[in-house]
Structures are given as structure tokens and as C-alpha cells.
Amino acid sequence: MQPFPTIDGIRRTLAAKAASAVEITQAQLARIAASDLNSFVTVCEEDALAAAQRADAQIARKGHAGLAGVPIAHKDVFCTAGVKTTCASRMLANFIAPYDATVVTRLADAGVVVVGKTNMDEFAMGSSNENSHFGPVSNPWDTERVPGGSSGGSAAAVAAGLVPAATGTDTGGSIRQPAAFCGISGLKPTYGRVSRHGMVAFASSLDQGGPLARSAADLRLLLRHMEGHDPLDSTSADVEPTGSASLAGLSIGIPREYWRGLDDRIAAVIDEAGAVLEGLGHRRVDVSLPHTAYATPAYYVIASAEASTNLARYDGVRYGHRADSPADLDDLYLRSRSEGFGAEVKRRILVGTYALSVGYYDAYYRKAQRLRRLIRQDFLDAFGAVDLILTPATPTTAFRKEALQAVDESGDPTAMYQQDIYTVPASLAGLPAVSIPCGFIDGLPVGMQVIAPHFAEDRLLAVAEAFQRETDWHARTPEKS
């Protein structure tokens, strides 16, 4: 039994009129107020209760439909009209967007109650949620450890039962890695499946919004109300919505490159998960993704290059942080940006500027884009032989706070970047991938990643749901919460 309510459970409760949306929302707000995880940047108590009242009125009038009355939180990277959207940056600490992101609008249309905006790594750059202007987030399984990032606030809030689900964004693993570290389920949809309109940009050819929840079934419910073509996002895909898939005897690729150098205990947990899938009638098949080792360097070139371009917009003139008493226009630009951005954001802007500069563009940026094609082709070749691919989601379980921080000259920022080695390849290829809980090591959750062909979220979620009917890893909750 789930000690914390799932979306599915809340819908049934509301449909049976066993509790009102207001009561459910009040209970979640009370849990948020009592939590010291620092998983929220903004809590919208009044707005949430008003939305819950509207949901109750709608349910009384027409019965329960969609996600009416279901409390959720949005990662603070999604624009929300009337509520601050900070991206956990000093640059946007007081920014109130003039419009809602398409994801926010669609979920609101489905009737959700937004209880607040979750903490994150600044501008979604990081794998530990330590790069936040509003302070680090704690992992509810061990508060001395990080929740992962960049959607660390969303993952910690869901894992601790503060909300049944939250939105996140994933550029190189920012939904899947925190989901794995916090023992919850997270889906990065196919690039283009979910609109990026109103999602503050980090790396536009990689960014993709998606849900974090306590079950794959809940991921499906959320995706249904997040996906769909959006004329306001020119990279939004005009495809059929995610349906349901047949599950008979799938072949599941095990890419041998992901097991090289893999921690023995993580390997054992993922192997056991593979055995569960075999028990469900699927078959494991050895596959090769030969360019995997190049994914991390190619990713950091492309993502940083796009970040340096996207973040050029923050100039202290039109919105965002502006330095006091600038001496002249140069001083205004330089100081506004330097005061507004944190160290990791500056690092990525400089790397991106370097990779795009004259004399280096071909050696780095174009080289990375060529590798991106080879990495994508590896997956397309593998999917010629298998239906899905199973890998670990992360190389370790949640690590201690400050363990991988590059805080001085001796620090090595690339140690943090290695956290993404299993998630960035699917990001570069634009593929959908899910991370779901599949075991524990020393009391900390381990996640498995399942990757599907483009737009095959139906198959991905069907296998994840079947796995969760067979196991109860996803239903476990941290003792202290």
C-alpha cells in the first residue's frame, strides 16, 4: 500500500467524495510547511486553496474528470503568470512572467491545483541541486545527501510526500537522475513531445519538460495533460498523443558499454531488474552503442554552446537583475550578469563561448554535432533489433552534499558532469527515457533507465507499469518523512 497518495489514488478519493480537493490541498500544504528539505522556492497557499475550491465546485457539478483537484508543483523553470519564476537564480529572483508556459496552461485546464514552485539548480545546470541561489535541497532518504538535479526540488518534494507529482525538465538527465536518487519515477519524453513554450531555455535542442511522480501510471496521467503540438513552440512535434501499447514478449537491449566500469552493486541491482523483466516474458539481448564514451564531452559542448547563446538575453535592461548605479552601459551589462549568475552558470557560459569562438568552432561545436549524429545512429541501429534498452540511471546512489562541488581552484567540475554519463546519450538522440526505482543500496534508492525509440512512450510506460505491478520499490517511502 502507498503511504503517500498517488494521483490515481487522489482521483479515486475525489470521485468517491471521500475527501474534498480543499482538504487534500490543505493536507499537502501542511506537509510542505512542516518540511525542512528546502524543496520549494515559492509556496502558493492562497492560489492553491482557491484552485481547490474551483475543483470541488466542478466535481460537484459534473463529477470528477481529468486531474481536477490533484495538487502538483511546478519546477521553477516554468513561467507562471502572477507567481515568481526564478530559475533558482539571483538573475530572476524577483521575475514574474507575463504569461503561463504551455505546460502550466494545459495542466491548469486539466484541473490541477498548483501548490508551489520547486527549487532547482540555477537555470537547470547541475546534478545535485547545490547550484541554487535559494540554497541546496536535501534528499529525504538522507538529508546529508543531495536529491540530484537539476529537478532536485521536484524529486525531493514527491519522494517526501509533499506533493504526489511535480513537473521537471531534462536537458541531460535532470528528471531521470533526481528521480533515481529520490526513489521515484521520472519521464523525459521524446524531444518535441512536450511544448517548451514558457520553459526558460537552457539548451534548446535538448531541453524537454516531463513529469516526476510516484508511479509510472501517474507519469502516464500527467503526460496525457502535458503533451501535444503547440504552435507557440516551433520545435514541438505534431504527432499522435501517447496511447497504450501491446506488451507481448519484447526484446530489451542491454548495451554492453554501460556496464564497463559500472559499480558492482549498481550492476547487480540493474541485472536483478532485468531478470524481473524476463519473468514478465521479455527477453534480454546484448546490444552495442559504440559511441557512448563520446556522449558526455559532446553533450557539454553542445549544451554549453546553446546556454551561452540563450543566456545572452540577461542584460539587466529588459528584465531580471540590474546592477546598482552603473557607470556606463558596459558596466551595466557586465555587473548585472556577473552579479546575477552563479559560478556553474558562468562556467558553462565561458565553455560555450570558447566552443563557439573563432578557431574552435569546428574542433568543438561541429565535432560535437557530428558525434551527436553517430550517437543517435547507434540507438537507431540498436532499435532495429530490440524494442527497448535497459541501463542504470546513475553511476552511484545519492552522494553527500559538497562531495562533488568545485568550490575552489582545486575543484574539478567534471566530476559532477560524470553523474550524467548514462542519461546524456538518450538526450543527445532526442529519445524518451524513464527512470524508475528498482532497488536499494545502503538504504538509498537505485534507479533503472529504460529508453525507447522516438515517440514510443506508450511502450516505455507499459513496461514500467508492468514492472511496478511486479515489484514494490516505487511504493517505499523514506522513514523520516
Looking at residues 160 to 199 of the shown chain, list those that interact with another protein (rule: CB under 8 A).
190-192
The yes-or-no answer on residue 117 being catalytic is no
Neighbours of 378 (CB within 10 A): 21
Instruction: CB nearer to another protein: give 177 or 304.
Output: 304
Minimum distance of another protein from residue 367's CB (angstroms): 5
Place of cell 516505487: 474
Active-site pick, 20, 174, 185, 435: 174
Query: Does position 312 bind another protein by CB under 8 A?
Result: yes
Contacts of 209 (CB under 8 A, 6+ apart): 78, 103, 167, 168, 169, 170, 189, 194, 195, 196, 199, 226
Residue 237, all three cell numbers = 512535434
Query: Does position 203 bind another protein by CB under 8 A?
Result: no
Q: Which residues pair with 97 in a beta bridge?
A: none
Candidate residues 3, 261, 279, 359; the one interacting with another protein per rule CB under 8 A: 359
The yes-or-no answer on residue 75 being catalytic is yes
Minimum distance of another protein from residue 180's CB (angstroms): 22
Candidate residues 15, 49, 93, 406; the one interacting with another protein per rule CB under 8 A: 406
Mark residues 319-348: x for contact with another protein by CB under 8 A, - for none: xxxx---xxxxxxxxxx-xx--x-x--xx-
DSSP 254-275: EEGGGGTT--HHHHHHHHHHHH
Candidate residues 217, 368, 389, 462; the one interacting with another protein per rule CB under 8 A: 368
Query: Does position 261 bind another protein by CB under 8 A?
Result: no
Query: Does position 364 bind another protein by CB under 8 A?
Result: yes
Query: Does position 355 bind another protein by CB under 8 A?
Result: yes
Query: Does position 429 bind another protein by CB under 8 A?
Result: yes
Asked if residues 180 and 447 have their Cβ atoms less than 8 Å apart, the reply is yes
The yes-or-no answer on residue 174 being catalytic is yes
Query: Does position 293 bind another protein by CB under 8 A?
Result: yes
User: Which of 406, 290, 297, 302 has the alpha carbon at shortest distance from 347?
Assistant: 406
Count, residues near another protein per rule CB under 8 A: 81
Query: Which one of the spans 146-154, 169-177, 212-220, 349-357 is the region binding another protein (CB under 8 A)?
Result: 349-357
Asked if residues 150 and 143 have their Cβ atoms less than 8 Å apart, the reply is no
- Binding residues among 438-477 for another protein as defined by CB under 8 A: 454
Q: How far apart are CA 481 and CA 477, in angstroms?
A: 8
What b/e string do you get for 113-132 counting C-beta neighbours within 10 Å, with b at 16 or more? bbbbbbbbbbbbbbbbbbbb
Query: Which one of the spans 260-268, 287-295, 388-396, 469-477 is the region binding another protein (CB under 8 A)?
Result: 287-295
Candidate residues 134, 258, 383, 417; the one interacting with another protein per rule CB under 8 A: 417
Instruction: CB nearer to another protein: give 57 or 415.
Output: 415
Q: How far apart are CA 175 and CA 173, in angstroms?
A: 6
Minimum distance of another protein from residue 93's CB (angstroms): 12
Query: Which one of the spans 7-15, 41-49, 272-280, 295-303 is the region binding another protein (CB under 8 A)?
Result: 295-303
Query: Does position 308 bind another protein by CB under 8 A?
Result: yes
Helices of type H across 214-342: 216-224, 264-279, 295-310, 329-340
Query: Does position 66 bind another protein by CB under 8 A?
Result: no
Q: How far apart are CA 321 and CA 325, in angstroms?
A: 13
User: Which of 60, 156, 93, 174 has the alpha carbon at shortest distance from 336?
Assistant: 93
Q: At what angle do helices 21-34 and 7-15 cross, to 10 degrees?
A: 140
Minimum distance of another protein from residue 333's CB (angstroms): 5
Query: Which one of the spans 49-57, 122-130, 240-248, 370-378 is the region binding another protein (CB under 8 A)?
Result: 370-378
Q: How far apart are CA 181 and CA 435, in angstroms?
A: 10
Instruction: CB nearer to another protein: give 215 or 296.
Output: 296
Active-site pick, 150, 151, 336, 427: 150
Instruction: CB nearer to another protein: give 60 or 312.
Output: 312
- Binding residues among 208-237 for another protein as defined by CB under 8 A: 231, 234-235, 237
Query: Does position 96 bind another protein by CB under 8 A?
Result: yes
Query: Which one of the spans 60-68, 134-142, 357-365, 468-476 is the region binding another protein (CB under 8 A)?
Result: 357-365
Minimum distance of another protein from residue 238's CB (angstroms): 8
User: Which of 309, 472, 283 has the alpha carbon at shortest distance from 390?
Assistant: 283
Distances (CA, A) of 173 to 189, 214, 244, 276, 308: 11, 18, 25, 24, 19
Q: How far apart are CA 213 and CA 159, in angstroms?
A: 8
User: Which of 416, 434, 411, 453 has the alpha carbon at shortest distance from 128?
Assistant: 416
Query: Does position 380 bind another protein by CB under 8 A?
Result: no
- Would you name the residues annotated as active-site residues? 75, 150, 174
